[in-house]
Each structure stands twice: as structure tokens, then as C-alpha cells.
Chains A and B, each alone.
Chain A
Amino acid sequence: MIDKIAPSIADALHGVEDGSTVLIGGFGTAGIPNELIDGLIAQGARDLTVVNNNAGNGDTGLAALLKTGRVRKIICSFPRQADSFVFDELFRSGKIELELVPQGNLAERLRAAGAGVGAFFTPTGFGTELAKNSDGSPKETRVINGKSYVLEYPIHGDIALIKAEAGDRWGNLVYRKAARNFGPVMATAARRTIATVHDIVELGSFDPEAVVTPGIHVTKLVKIGRVATQAGGFKQAA
């Protein structure tokens, strides 16, 4: 009998180790698993590397995690937003390391991790500052059929925290609108994936043609109450 439904956030997050790489779904505030992030703050793991498209909005969710000082490094594509003041302060005071990755390379490096690909050549970023390693040395490049590419390596997570809409006890998931974003690819890229869902459905009630994340990629799911996603990341019109 497979039952991946965890009774609580705390139970699902049990045993996250210090030094873990944590993949956190979401784009802006859509698809951010805030309840799991709050659970991770309560769980207390330190010295974390966080992978997310952004670097937190306002002072809740990911921003609150950053504020605890337990995140050593963030890997993201767009840290600077209208309401990213928590990250901005940490970055300016040298308290957090930033690895800036073009968004498509971020998604593909996660995909590569999940798909068992050792590395891949991508045209994105060729000839730019982001085709350099953190020590300033150039990344490996290659010309293939007359086109120039940069070699990029996978990003493996120790744990992925994602937000889905509904799931079943096998861990099959569907998402809601553009809150899907990084969820499915992060689910494949971590050794352990925890998803929140607003609904748990009976096994067999999902249309098998419409399941987005097959349960093999999900370790635990936790049902949470529905809270409307808040705006975040952009400047409100004056």
C-alpha cells in the first residue's frame, strides 16, 4: 500500500539536513509553497542553498526564510524586484551568495538533473558575463554546426518544495494555472519532493491523460487550506 499523504507539514519536512540544497517552486508569488517554507523555518535546517526563480517578495515566505540567516547561497534568475528588500539587504551586506542563472538555463539545469543528463550545451548566455564560473573563469564552450554553445551542469536538489493544486495518495499531481511554473521540473530534480495540495482525490479519479507530475517524482504531499495568491514582485501603478 502506497500512501504518500503526510499528516502535517512538520511530518513531511522531518529530517531536512543542514547544508541541503532546497529547490523551491514559484515564479514571483505564484506557486510559492509558503506553508512548506514556514515549515522549513520551524524545522530549523541551516547553511542552505536555495534554488528559486526569484529571491523573495515582501517579508513572508521565501523572504522570511532568507531573513533567518540560514540560507548561505541562492541560485536564481531574477532576485531584484520591487519588493525584494530582504534579499537586497542581505546581498548588499555580503551575507548571502548569489549565483545568477538565465531563467531558461535554470529550468533546463533542473530538467537535466531530473533526467539524468550529465551536462548540456545551451546557446543561452554565450558570449555574456553569465558564461563565466563564479571564480571568473570562462565556462566550457563549443561550436556545433556553426552555432556557439555554453556547457551547463545540472542542479540537483536534496529536497524540492512545491505547490500543486490537487494530488492523490500515489503522489500524482495537477497544478493551477501559471502557478505550475517550476513545480513539475523541480519535482524531478530532487532526491525528495514535498508538495502541498488544496485537494486530495481518490486514486483513479484523475484523468490519466491530464496528470502533470506522475507520482514517482513525489515523496510526500500535505493538504493545506486554500488561500488566494497575493500580488507581488511588480510596482503597483501609481
Chain B
Amino acid sequence: MSQYQKRSKDQLAQRVAQDIFDGAYVNLGIGMPTTVANHIPAGMEVVLHSENGILGMGAAPPVGEEDYDLINAGKQPVTLLPGGVYFHHADSFAMMRGGHLDICVLGAFQVSASGDLANWSTGEVGSIPAVGGAMDLAIGAKQTWVMMDLLSKKGESKVVQSCTYPLTGIACVKRIYSDLATLECTPSGLKLIDMVDGLEHAELERLVGLPIQA
């Protein structure tokens, strides 16, 4: 029985940030991936893109200084760094679709071993569907990374042979950063990049239920 501790949300964000390079143009989607911005090392310049027409997005403003004409994709108030710019929606998504962003980090419900992504709908009957920029982001950036817990609340692996939830994009995810391991999605299946201390390879494969190349 292996003894290991999961990465905390902060440690996971830090792990993702570790792989972002100086000068990268990055979109951090909405929700959990946006916390990666808090861990980009000082002295490194990373230009954050927001789908609603911002490059050079900065942190949240101090309380009382919010300007709701300057919001992120999650509609929360942000700031603009010196050098930051605004542009309209068609230009913003052309930037994405045209492959100009280096990295995009998204959350996910499921990712398949070959990199199919499901992150916009659980397909639940009667729920109101909403997709936003998820499909454009998934297929647009030079590299799409997913950041998520490896297991669902029910303990099922969110990394699967084939997604059962509605797809966001096909073979678009390059890496999965999770609380237990970092994996690469390839046409021939999963490859291990790293895992938390104390977790054994066999145990990781058992949790995921799929072969993982060392």
C-alpha cells in the first residue's frame, strides 16, 4: 500500500505554472485554472489573454476600485498591465483559432487517453447548455493543458479511454495536470510526466484504469 499525499489546489496551480515559459501568451479559461496566474515566478513575463478582448490582463483590483468594463472571461473585475491592449471579439477568437496563443489551461469533466476533451456539458437532461469559448480554446492554442482532480467526487477516474460526456474537442489536450500526477495524452495513449511522492506507478494505473507509459 503506497503512502502519498495529493497536491493541494495551490500546489497544483504551482505545478502548472512551473511549465509556463517566459514570454508565453497564455489563456487561463475560467475558474480553477485562473489561479495559475498567482504562481508565475516573479521576473518572468507571461502575457495573459482573456477571450473578451484583453492581452496583458493583470490581477484583480483592490476592493473599491473595480471597473466592470474591465472584466475577465468569468466576468470578474481585473486590471490591465502596462503594455496590455484591448481588441474586439472576432480578433480575440481569431487569435485563439489561428494558433497564436502558446498555452491554454482549462478545467475538465473528462479527458480521454488520446486527448479528447469534455468540459462544457454533462449532458444532463433539462440542464441549460452553455459553451462560451470552451470549444474555441480547446482546439486553438498551440498547447491545451487540462488542470483537474484525477478522480471525480464519486472516485471515478476523469481520465478515460473514451469520453462519455459531450465532447468539447477531439485529440486537443496535450497534458493533464492533476492532484496525483501529470500525464501526457498521445495518439498511442497516456505517458507519465510525474506523480506525487510515494504514489506507485501500478497504483496510478489502477486508479486511472488505463495503461500509462513510464
Interface, chain A (partner B; CB < 8 A): 27-31, 53, 77-81, 87-88, 91-92, 98, 100-108, 110-111, 122-130, 148, 175-185, 212, 228-234
Asked whether A107 lies within 8 Å of B128 as measured between CB atoms, the reply is no
Asked whether A185 lies within 8 Å of B88 as measured between CB atoms, the reply is yes
Could you tell me the distance in whole angstroms from the C-beta of A205 to the nearest C-beta in chain B? Answer: 21
Asked whether B69 lies within 8 Å of A104 as measured between CB atoms, the reply is no
Quick one: closest A residue to B120, CB to CB? A128
Contact (A102, B170) CB under 8 Å given A30-B69, A77-B130: no
Asked whether A91 lies within 8 Å of B76 as measured between CB atoms, the reply is no
B161, CB-defined interface residue at 8 Å = no
Asked whether A30 lies within 8 Å of B128 as measured between CB atoms, the reply is no
Quick one: closest A residue to B136, CB to CB? A104
Task: Specify which chain A residues have a CB less than 8 angstroms from the CB of B69 in the assembled complex.
Answer: 30-31, 176-179, 229
Question: B86 touches which one: A108, A180, A232 (CB < 8 A)?
Answer: A180
Question: A102 touches which one: B74, B75, B135 (CB < 8 A)?
Answer: B135
Could you tell me the distance in whole angstroms from the C-beta of B89 to the nearest C-beta in chain A? Answer: 4
Task: Specify which chain B residues have a CB less than 8 angstroms from the CB of A91 in the assembled complex.
Answer: 128
Interface size on B, residues (CB 8 A): 44
B173, CB-defined interface residue at 8 Å = no
Question: A77 touches which one: B92, B132, B168 (CB < 8 A)?
Answer: B132
Task: Specify which chain A residues have a CB less than 8 angstroms from the CB of B52 in the assembled complex.
Answer: 27-28, 30, 178, 181
Asked whether B71 lies within 8 Å of A182 as measured between CB atoms, the reply is no
Given contacts A100-B130, A103-B89, A231-B68, 15 further A-B contacts (CB under 8 A): A78-B130, A80-B130, A102-B135, A104-B133, A111-B90, A124-B136, A124-B140, A128-B135, A129-B121, A130-B135, A177-B67, A177-B70, A177-B80, A185-B88, A229-B67
Question: A181 touches which one: B74, B89, B97, B169 (CB < 8 A)?
Answer: B89
Quick one: closest A residue to B70, CB to CB? A177
**Docked complex Cα distance between A31 and B169 (Å):** 30
Task: Specify which chain A residues have a CB less than 8 angstroms from the CB of B96 in the assembled complex.
Answer: 104
Asked whether B166 lies within 8 Å of A129 as measured between CB atoms, the reply is yes
Contact (A103, B93) CB under 8 Å given A28-B75, A130-B131, A180-B88: yes
Task: Specify which chain A residues have a CB less than 8 angstroms from the CB of B168 in the assembled complex.
Answer: 128
Question: A100 touches which one: B68, B93, B129 (CB < 8 A)?
Answer: B129
Asked whether A102 lies within 8 Å of B68 as measured between CB atoms, the reply is no
> Would you list 16 pairs from A and B whose C-beta atoms are within 8 A, ordered by A residue?
A27-B52, A27-B75, A27-B89, A30-B71, A98-B129, A100-B130, A103-B89, A104-B97, A110-B90, A111-B90, A125-B135, A126-B169, A127-B169, A130-B135, A180-B87, A231-B68
Asked whether A127 lies within 8 Å of B170 as measured between CB atoms, the reply is yes
Asked whether B136 lies within 8 Å of A102 as measured between CB atoms, the reply is yes
Quick one: closest B residue to A108, CB to CB? B90
**Docked complex Cα distance between A43 and B76 (Å):** 33
B180, CB-defined interface residue at 8 Å = no
Task: Specify which chain A residues have a CB less than 8 angstroms from the CB of B143 in the assembled complex.
Answer: none
Task: Specify which chain B residues have a CB less than 8 angstroms from the CB of A130 in the assembled complex.
Answer: 131, 135
Quick one: closest A residue to B117, CB to CB? A128
